[in-house]
Amino acid sequence: MMRMAWDNRECINKVLYDLENISFKDKNILITGGAGFLGSWICDALIANGAEIICLDNISSGLRSNISHLIDSDGFRFIEHDITKPISFNEHIDLVIHMASRASPFEFEHYPIEILKANTIGLMVSLDIAKKQNARFLYTSTSETYGNPLVIPTPESYFGNVNAVGPRGCYDEAKRCGEAYVMAYRKQYGLDTRIARIFNTYGPRIRSDGIYARAIPRFIDQALGGKPITIFGDGTQTRSFTYVTDQVEGLLKLAAYDKANGSIINIGNDKETTIIEMAKLVLDLTGSTSGITYHPLPEDDPLRRKPDISRAKEILGWRPKVTLEEGLRNTIEWFNSKTTFGG
């Protein structure tokens, strides 16, 4: 029997159910980086929730295929544009979500200037749009603002342990600077802002090719292809693997709740998992006989990731629901469907 193409509608319906009474119906929402892995899921959820979406992306790391199913949808408009260049809109915009940025550690080496610009110049363009439109503003920052944290679990009040001039500095410091810009616009112009520090998000549509691949998609691709799993370091370093639907729910609750105005909130799984544990689970779920090879740990690679999500629970009523095993099964199913249908 031919395998059916992977469909995320059931996942999106679960997100809508978990959003309970939150409605974005008829809201005009600008999403920068909307053709990216996470951005495209946000587009899906908001379209299903009745919003009018302007998806803006320069297709540098995002993919047209992530949003191709939305192109003919009512209420969806795609604009190919680099957000570091000014752009204006005639229609009123209610919410701006700034997600535009390369985010894979392998991209840090090749595109440091683009990463810095997306989270400074590009962010200011987005903030100015929100200021002009009196729109609410959500910035997707990152756990990387904490660097290699010395406090575990890590609360939002932790200042971080970051090497500003190291190989990860272009991303870590760009996001820290971005947060400063967002707070400055809030203080100086009274902008309604909220900042999400997101942790190790994965799921269908995450890229596995070349410099874009992060640990989970790389391991799945290697396992399905019968290639050795490549682990950097000894595999004892930990991450906070957060399935994409949990992340989308958290971000949309943060965007929607009035009481979240001015908040900085960790959105991540508070279950700490080692890289070697995750790799072995991928091998088990794929039935792969691939071996594991070990390589030197990159400079400044964080040793632990575990967020304190007390603030997310208190303000948003959010907590992760999808286990790593369930999330990996869904992601592997999507990888298999890509192979079957030549995606």
Q: Say if residues 31 and 251 touch (Cβ distance below 8 Å).
A: no
CA atoms within 13 A on the CB side of 198: 25
Q: In DSSP terms, which residues pair with 293 in a beta bridge?
A: 230
User: Can you give the pLDDT of all 343 residues of the chain as single tens digits?
Assistant: 233 457 899 999 999 999 989 999 999 999 999 999 999 999 999 999 999 999 999 999 999 999 999 999 999 999 999 999 999 999 999 999 999 999 999 899 999 999 999 999 999 999 999 999 999 999 999 999 999 999 999 999 999 999 999 999 999 999 999 999 999 999 999 999 999 999 999 999 999 988 778 999 999 999 999 999 999 999 999 999 999 999 999 999 999 999 999 999 999 999 999 999 999 999 999 999 999 999 999 999 999 999 999 999 999 999 999 999 999 999 999 999 986 545 5
Residue 7 to residues 1, 74, 236, 287, Cα–Cα distance (Å): 17, 19, 34, 23
CA distance from start to end of the chain: 19
Active site residue 257: no
The reported pTM is: 0.96
Model pLDDT, residue 5 = 55
Could you tell me how many helices (H) and strands (E) the chain has, helices first? Answer: 11, 13
- Token pair for 73: 């949808």
Closest to 106 in 3D by CA, of 242, 33, 32, 215: 215
Tell me which amino acid residue 214 is.
Answer: R
Residue 214 has, within 13 A of its CA and on its CB side, a CA count of 21
pLDDT of residue 3: 37
The domains of the chain, with CATH numbers, are: 9-202+242-270+302-322 (3.40.50.720)
Q: What separation in angstroms does the CA of 188 have from each of 35, 94, 185? A: 31, 20, 5
**Which residue shows structure tokens 């390369």?**
102
Which one, of 227, 208, 196, lies nearest residue 309 by Cα? 196
Q: Which of 171, 181, 212, 243 is catalytic?
A: 171
